[in-house]
Chains A and B, each alone.
Chain A
Amino acid sequence: MRLLTHNMLSSNIKGVTDGFPLKIEAGKVVEKEVDMNTDFLKNIFTKIEWKPFVEAAKTLGYSELPEDVDPSLLDSQDFLTKFHHALLEIHLEEGALVCPETGRKFPVSKGIPNMLLHEDEV
């Protein structure tokens, strides 16, 4: 699972009002290189919640991202490269996602988070 997905996911348990962001318990982290697409980065930038994104990247061992951002940074090649790397190239292979309200763990194995809920959580 990439941080792109993590930034979109929120806990879906019944009764939870603010299930975002899910905390990450990092086990195994891998990096896979992919081609950079500036258009996509500019498009997705407006949708990313930056603070949780930086936090998540730190948990996975990448702390190059600036704490504060504004859209003007999108013209900087240096920033785009870092943004791209954190968003699309770092994968959480093994570990868990933790619901911020209930503390319920969603295990991640082989890069796939198991988001299935128990019957009493629906």
Chain B
Amino acid sequence: MAARPELLAPPEIFYDQSEARKYTSSSRIIDIQAKLSERALELLALPDDGVPRLLLDIGCGSGLSGETLSESGHQWIGLDISEAMLDVAVEREVDGDLLHADMGQGLGFRPGVIDGAISISAVQWLCNADKSSHEPRLRLKAFFGSLYRSLARGARAVLQLYPQNIAQRELIFNYAMRAGFGGGVVVDYPHSTKSRKEYLVLNCGPPSLSAAVPNAKGEDGMSCSDDEENHTVTVSDRNRPRKKRKLDKTNGGKDWVIQKKEQMRRKGAAVPADTKYTARKRKSRF
């Protein structure tokens, strides 16, 4: 598996021009990003009334995830720290507005104006201290605090992320809770290494019935669409069918023994001569 990009360089340096180019040329990356953002939008659970909302795309990059938002008719504001990625977004003429900003410095929005926020594979970057002035805890605090303030009451934020380990997951979740968010983690395809995806689904405002954490995909026997890694193993399936022993009638018997002895003789082994006693059946009392 490739090294985690967070460990290689800070985001504004890692996502340089050549890396940003991948996000327009690689159909695989485009496909994955589109799927992730569709799922994030689904988890956002906006009211189904056809009214376009004002959404936020945190770490919008080249605007691939924003495209999904535009397709659903929503207006969006995207922010990213990598200039090269934003340049690509401008080139692609995305519909949303773009900001060159660092989420770890807090989001500069008026309180309560945003109807929902999504973020695709971005928040784990906050856990890295790329400059001496960076303190991951303060940056997480600033991010979640400002996100909470800018969201309207009852709005949701869905953050898809790749935490490096359990400690990091806990750290991120903790700071989200401290900022006042409710919610939880939705893990799609938890048994699969490849298609496993984690979404932090955060509710802004008092918990309500509708604020229950949505169900994950692939937990209750739903299989992944593209690869069948996800079949649950039932108990009766657990034992592999044994290879049936060949019930071959050809071995045993005088002819067979003589044939085998002939074979060994040809190989040069010392084999007793064939006599009338060869392969003779023994008496039952033996």
- Beyond A8-B113, A12-B146, A43-B53, whether A110 also contacts B107 by CB under 8 A is no
Distance in Å from the Cβ of A45 to the closest Cβ of chain B? 12
Q: B86 within 8 Å of A by Cβ? A: yes
Which residues of chain A come closer than 8 Å to B130, judged between CB atoms? Answer: none
Complex CA distance for A19 and B125, rounded to whole angstroms: 27
Among A56-75, those with CB < 8 Å from B are none
- What's the interface size class on B, roughly? 20 to 34
Q: B109 within 8 Å of A by Cβ? A: yes
Does A113 lie within 8 Å of B53, measured CB to CB?
Answer: no
Which one of A37, A47, A114 lies within 8 Å of B100 (CB-CB)? A114
Complex CA distance for A110 and B106, rounded to whole angstroms: 23
- Beyond A5-B99, A116-B81, A116-B100, whether A10 also contacts B108 by CB under 8 A is yes
Does B75 lie within 8 Å of A111, measured CB to CB?
Answer: no
Distance in Å from the Cβ of A36 to the closest Cβ of chain B? 11
Does A9 lie within 8 Å of B100, measured CB to CB?
Answer: no
Complex CA distance for A44 and B51, rounded to whole angstroms: 10
Does A4 lie within 8 Å of B102, measured CB to CB?
Answer: no
Q: A30 within 8 Å of B by Cβ? A: no
Does B100 lie within 8 Å of A112, measured CB to CB?
Answer: yes
Complex CA distance for A40 and B98, rounded to whole angstroms: 20
Complex CA distance for A116 and B81, rounded to whole angstroms: 8
Q: B188 within 8 Å of A by Cβ? A: no
Does B51 lie within 8 Å of A12, measured CB to CB?
Answer: no
Complex CA distance for A40 and B108, rounded to whole angstroms: 23
Does B133 lie within 8 Å of A119, measured CB to CB?
Answer: yes
Produce 1/0 per residue, A5-43, CB < 8 A to B: 101111110000001100000000000001001011001
Among A108-122, those with CB < 8 Å from B are 110-117, 119, 122
Which residues of chain A come closer than 8 Å to B133, judged between CB atoms? Answer: 119, 122
Does A40 lie within 8 Å of B110, measured CB to CB?
Answer: no
Does A115 lie within 8 Å of B100, measured CB to CB?
Answer: yes
Which residues of chain A come closer than 8 Å to B79, judged between CB atoms? Answer: 115
Q: B residues engaging A (CB < 8 A)?
A: 50-54, 73, 75, 77, 79, 81, 86-87, 90, 95, 97-102, 105-110, 112-114, 131, 133, 142, 146, 150
Q: A residues engaging B (CB < 8 A)?
A: 1-2, 4-5, 7-12, 19-20, 34, 37, 39-40, 43-44, 47, 49, 88, 110-117, 119, 122
Extra inter-chain contacts (20) besides given A43-B51, A112-B98, CB under 8 Å: A4-B54, A7-B110, A8-B110, A8-B113, A9-B99, A10-B108, A10-B109, A34-B95, A37-B52, A37-B73, A40-B53, A43-B53, A44-B54, A110-B87, A111-B98, A112-B86, A113-B100, A115-B79, A115-B100, A122-B142
